[in-house]
Amino acid sequence: MANVVVVGAQWGDEGKGKIVDWLSERADVIARFQGGHNAGHTLVIDGTVYKLHALPSGVVRGGKLSVIGNGVVLDPWHLVAEIEKIREQGVEITPETLMIAENTPLILPIHGELDRAREEAASKGTKIGTTGRGIGPAYEDKVGRRSVRVADLADAATLEARVDRALQHHDPLRKGLGIAAVDRDALVAQLREIAPKILQYAAPVWKVLNDKRKAGKRILFEGAQGALLDIDFGTYPFVTSSNVIAGQAATGVGVGPGAIDYVLGIVKAYTTRVGEGPFPSELLNADGTPDADGQRLGERGHEFGTTTGRQRRCGWFDAALVRQTCATSGVKGIALTKLDVLDGFETLKICTGYELDGTVLDYLPTAADQQARCKPIYEEVPGWSESTEGARSWAELPANAIKYVRRVEELIDCPVAMLSTSPEREDSILVTDPFAD
C-alpha cells in the first residue's frame, strides 16, 4: 500500500488541512514530520471548525494514530492547552491515538523570549517576520546539541544537566539583548510540572512506524508551512527554521526514503505569502498597498493566518515557483485549492518566469538581491463568470476554469491529482488517488 507525503508547494497556507483530513480518512497513521506551532491548519468537518497548530490533522478522525515526529520542535505547554481545547470540541485524544517521538526537541519559554527580542532589535529590512513563538531558537539549540528533548523529562538529573547546558548559551545572549538572566530553578520546576502530561504520549516513533509499515499500514506524512519557506530551498533568509520539502518526511519521523511512495503537493490557484521576503507576483499599488485585484483575492479567499491572524499578501499564480518546488520535493501530483476564489475575474494572469536585468529566467534565482529584482513575466488567460464553488465533477466546472487548470498543469510540468472547490472536505474532484498509486 502507498504511503503519502503532503507538502505545501508555495509559501504555506495552501489549504493542506482539508486535503490531509480528506486523505487521513483512508490512512492508518498520520505523522507530522517538521515545524512547530508557528503554522496552523483549519479543518471544517460537518460545519465544525477545528484549528490545529501542533497536533497532526488526523486527531479529529477517530480510530487513527497521530504522531508528532522528531523533526518537529514542540512547545509542551501549548500542546497540552491545544489538546484540552480540541477535547472540548468532542474529540478524544489518548496515548493510544497520539504519540510523540522521544527524541523530539522542546520549545522552552526562553526560546520565545529570544525570538521576540531579536525581531524587536532587528534593523529595518532585516526582520524575518517570525511569529515570535521560539521555533527558530529551538531549532538552533537542536543543531547546537543543547536541546531538552522529550525523553529528558523522565530523569531529573538529565533534565537539569540539559537546562544548564542550554543556559550557558542563552544567558550571555540575553545579556547582550538587555534581557534578564533566566531563573534556572523556576524553568526546571516548570518542566517537571509539565513532564507527566507529555511523557504519557512519548514513544519510540521510529520503531512504531517501521512496524506499522511492515504490517502494511498506510502512513500519511504531514508537514507544515510550504516548500518556499524551506531553510535550504526557500527564499532565504525569509524562511522557516526547518526543511519543509518532502525528503524531510523520512528524517523527521525515522523511516527510510523508500517508505515514501507518493508526494502530493498542495497548491493554491493563486499565490499568497505571510511575513517578509520577495514575492514577484504580488499585486501592489505604487505605494505598496494591495491593488484592487490583490484586495479582492484577499477578501474572497479570507486570507488571514490561522496562527497569527495576519493578513496575507496576495498575487497571481506563479507557475515558475511551483514548477521549482515540484522538482525539489519530487511531487507526483498536485491538489489545486481555492479555485472558487477566482470566480468572476474577467481575465487572470499566470507568472511563467522572470525578467532579471534584461535576462529571462524560468526559475527564481538563489541570491536574495537577485530575487528582489525579479520582475514577473505574465501570460494572460480568460476568466469565467460562473461559480465553481462546491463543484464535485469536471462537468460542473466552466469551460474556462478547466482551461485554466490545464494550463497550470502544463506550466508546472505536473498533473492535477485533486481539485478543491470550497473549504468543505467533500467539495473536491479526485483525478488520481494518491493511496492507490
Specify whether 13 is catalytic: yes
Nearest to 425 by CA among 1, 19, 116: 19
Quote helix, strand, coil % in the chain, to nearest 5: 35, 20, 40
Of the listed 13, 21, 141, 427, which one is catalytic? Answer: 13
User: How many Cβ atoms sit within 10 Å of the Cβ of residue 287?
Assistant: 5
Residue 169 annotated in active site: no
Name the β-bridge partners of 282: 315
Cis peptide before 237 (omega within 30 of 0): yes
Give the DSSP per-residue string, 284-310: B-TTSSB-HHHHHHHHHTT-B-TTT-P
The answer for residues whose C-beta is within 8 angstroms of residue 252's C-beta and 6 or more apart is 33, 34, 69, 70, 71, 72, 221
Question: Catalytic one among 21, 28, 37, 41?
Answer: 41
Q: CA angle 300-306-311, nearest 5°? A: 50
Instruction: Using alpha carbons, list the distances in angstroms from residue 416 to 116, 332, 400, 413.
Output: 40, 9, 16, 10
Name 225's Cβ contacts closer than 8 Å, sequence gap at least 6. Answer: 8, 11, 12, 35, 38, 39, 240, 244
Say what angle helices 156-176 and 184-199 make with each other, to 10 degrees. 130
- Residues in Cβ contact with 104 at an 8 Å cutoff, skipping those fewer than 6 apart: 68, 69, 70, 72, 73, 74, 149, 150
Q: Which amino acid is at 296?
A: R
Q: Which phi and psi angles does 100 have, rounded to 5°? A: -120, 130
Are the beta carbons of 182 and 167 closer than 8 angstroms? Answer: yes
Q: Active-site positions?
A: 13, 41
